[in-house]
Amino acid sequence: MNILFLTTHFNTGGITSYVLTLGEALIRSGHKVWVASSGGDCVPRLEAAGIRHVTVNIRTKSEASPKLWFSYGPLKTLIEKEGINIIHAQTRVTQVLGFFLSRFGGVPMVTTCHGFFRPRWFRKTFPCWGEAVIAISKPVEQHLVKDFGVAQDQVHLIANGIDLERFEVVNEQMRREAREKWGMGKAPLIGIIARLSDVKGIDILIKAMPLVLKEIPTANLLIAGQGPEEIVLKKLTQDMSLTAHVHFKSITNQSQELLCAFDVFVMPSLMEGLGLSVIEAQACGIPVVASKIGGLVDLIEDGKTGFLVPVNDPTALADRIIVVLKNPQQAKAMARQARVQTEQNFSVQRMLKETLGVYEQYSRR
């Protein structure tokens, strides 16, 4: 089968990880894969996997941008030349572009909904979901049906998967080596890997740190990521006199190595479609504390495979972080259970099989 992924850009992030993981698995299974985007720092990883990248200027947030129409011609030519069997769109902008490519190119389109959309009138009157919509979690599935009126039989619940061979359970030697590499010493380390956007709630984690430090004075927080809130978060850190304990690193494409350094992984999101970085942390045997919201509730059974806390509550967040750091045996037991859950429910093999099932149901050969 010949598959064309459409995504706005190919910089480090959740959608990029999804496309890379699924694309690599499709290639290993004998399929051919193209990715069309405006480019980004992860394009070399596509090429290394044997996935062909097509650069088109679709870096925009506007569904009516002229960039879509300038991209239409080259992509239609590619679809005809390479015999594309299915288009798989990843963002709202590429859903609109994919809709016209599908309609006038005679190739079916599947979309993946990675999170939650505001139910604006344009989305409702011009949905562009394609023949099928993949929802990455149960809350996202419910959002599509309830807020956008997508037919239940059109929505397919397929959670993200990861390559478990790349995320082995961390041992003490791996942790020591990672601490040395990132210059973090031996003190307890709280970590997050995420885009620095307001929806990730990283300011809440920073606000929780003084409470953590009262109980564990040597604790450090490592925030790995890039994004529009970076300046705001660094200023908050300075204003709270936390610069000695809160560290920022712009690296996000080395998640396996970063995770090895953490004693606890925290995801204090205000909204979350699923939480790919949480799955990766669980696969590495790192205890997780996360907000009780969105797809995160599908990943964590509170008190058994991690801790869930109320949204936007620094006190509750700090309390659970302290419990993890002060009770390492309990934390390890939860992390072991989380790893088992990841193996059972979030493998790339499962995601590949279920996604191919959707492709085969709708593709025209």
- Report how far residue 144's alpha carbon sits from residue 117's, in angstroms, rounded to the nearest whole number: 9
Contact 27/45 with Cβ under 8 angstroms? no
**Is the pLDDT score of 61 beyond 90?**
no
Query: Which pLDDT value is given to residue 253?
Result: 65
Q: Are β-strands 246-249 and 220-224 bridged in parallel, bridged antiparallel, or unpaired?
A: parallel
| Residue 107 and residue 199 share a domain | no
Query: Which pLDDT value is given to residue 65?
Result: 87
Residue of higher predicted confidence among 121 and 225: 225
| Residue 217 and residue 292 share a domain | yes
Q: Which long-range contacts (CB under 8 A, 24 or more apart) does 153-157 make?
A: 154/129, 156/132, 156/354, 156/358
| Residue 194 and residue 131 share a domain | no
| Residue 183 and residue 305 share a domain | yes
Q: Whole domain around residue 25: which residue ranges?
A: 2-161+347-362
**Whole-number Cα distances in Å, 310 to 116, 204, 293, 295, 313:** 19, 11, 8, 14, 6
| Residue 108 and residue 227 share a domain | no
Average pLDDT over all residues of the chain:
94
| Residue 232 and residue 206 share a domain | yes
Q: Are β-strands 246-249 and 264-267 bridged in parallel, bridged antiparallel, or unpaired?
A: unpaired
What stretches of the chain show up as alpha helix (H) in DSSP? 14-28, 43-48, 66-82, 92-105, 121-125, 138-148, 172-182, 202-215, 230-239, 255-259, 276-283, 296-299, 314-326, 328-345, 348-362
DSSP string of 247-282, one letter each residue: EEE---S-HHHHHTT-SEEEE--SS-SS-HHHHHHH
Contact 236/203 with Cβ under 8 angstroms? yes
| Residue 330 and residue 205 share a domain | yes
> What length is written for the chain?
365
For residue 255, the domain's CATH number is 3.40.50.2000
Confidence of residue 242 (pLDDT cuts 50, 70, 90): very high
Which of the residue ranges 65-69, 81-85, 215-219, 360-364 would you say has the lowest mean pLDDT? 360-364
Contact 110/359 with Cβ under 8 angstroms? yes
Count: domains in the chain: 2
| Residue 302 and residue 177 share a domain | yes
Conformational region of residue 50, where left means phi above 0, alpha means psi within -120 to 50, and beta covers everything else? left
Q: Which of 163, 167, 147 is nearest to 155 (CA)?
A: 147
| Residue 357 and residue 288 share a domain | no
| Residue 223 and residue 130 share a domain | no
Q: What angle do CA 325, 328, 334 make, to 5 degrees?
A: 105
Query: Which pLDDT value is given to residue 252?
Result: 62
CA-based R_g, the chain, Å: 21
Secondary structure of residue 223 in the 3-state scheme:
strand
**Whole-number Cα distances in Å, 299 to 159, 162, 170, 266:** 10, 13, 19, 13
Residue at 14: amino acid letter: G
**Is the pLDDT score of 235 beyond 80?**
yes
| Residue 27 and residue 44 share a domain | yes
| Residue 189 and residue 116 share a domain | no
